[in-house]
A = this chain, B = another copy of it.
């Protein structure tokens, strides 16, 4: 049976475009000039380019991926202005209208200008301002973006990645205000930070466990790691196709690090890489573990696939092969995403596409995939009290 009307779609990976005043509304006066703001650069015969200006650097691609409502024939890589996007990109009330059109109950949105996990602030020179910018973004998400539609926009917060103690404070501060998840780089070492094999992250991971918030690792959030290995003349399609290899690497790092053994309640959500690769990587990781654990500093008693099934979740937009192999992956490990307003999204036909993708999946499993697994992962209240037991 296809999706039943009573199943509520929860997207674990959408994107918001920050409106021009997000930081100017919140930063102290002395920081407003250096803090992120929109500037216009005139062009002959064309509309002016709108860019973010932050610490003197321009970031022109405010809406590179804001293609919702466009046909593939209209996709391109030119800068886009606010008035060339549909309002749902940056206006939460318009977003809810677009979600209603799309048949979606709730959505978790990643940042855009600061990048998927706020690395623009990691790279900033003035770290006092950067910390204020992180807090301002999180307050925007909690007080403005998600507050516009409580229960329908799921608060995802970013961390000051350069300072674990401040990160811990920000986790507890935002959890107290209702945050549900943390955006975290898929490959921290690719950003010049300690890797997940280092104890640098322990306080952060403990805080995530204590607050019950998962780490959400959007593919590509660990910088341009996969780009480093691409041929310079490869078409862009090669990079898009291979982006999921970042999630494979993030997964493999977790499974062979000691972190998950030290943080038994840690939850991880991988975004946008699909799920069809998971059985291959887990089988290869287990085979590697079986043959090569004796001479390396890795856990010798728990095979990697067991850790995966306890800690890690994947998600998909279209991945027919992954859905067919859901029992090998684990139905409880799979969530669903919309990716509005990016090019992978099927908006305004996301629910229809999800119905097609799950056409041969029994109701109980489909319900877990589109809704219940996300409720468990983010500690969202059950929509119907009688479902609470299933989501626990």
What is A's interface to B at a CB cutoff of 8 Å? 72-73, 75-77, 187, 189-190, 195-198, 225-226, 228-238, 240-242, 244-245, 248-249, 252-253, 256-257, 274, 276-277, 279-281, 283-285, 287-298, 318-322, 325, 328, 343-344
Contact = CB atoms under 8 A, between A and B. Distances in A.
Given A75-B295, A296-B236, A284 B228 contact: no
B295 A229 contact: no
A232 B72 CA distance: 40
A189 B229 CA distance: 9
A318 B287 contact: yes
Given A196-B231, A197-B233, A321 B283 contact: yes
Contacts of A253: 231, 234, 238
- Residue with the greatest number of chain B CB neighbours at <10 A, chosen from A73, A196, A228, A237: A237
5 contacts: A72-B292, A76-B295, A189-B231, A196-B231, A234-B253
B298 A195 contact: no
Copies held by the complex: 2
A76 B295 CA distance: 6
A248 B246 CA distance: 12
A194 to B, nearest CB: 8
Contacts of A237: 256, 285, 288-289, 292-293, 296, 298
A216 B343 CA distance: 35
A322 B287 CA distance: 14
Contacts of A292: 72, 75, 236-237, 240, 343
- Residue with the greatest number of chain B CB neighbours at <10 A, chosen from A240, A280, A294: A280
A287 B72 CA distance: 11
B234 A294 contact: no
A187 B288 contact: no
A295 B225 CA distance: 24
A249 B256 contact: no
A235 B253 CA distance: 9
A241 B226 contact: no
A213 to B, nearest CB: 24
A242 B252 contact: yes
A285 B241 contact: yes
Contacts of A236: 292, 296
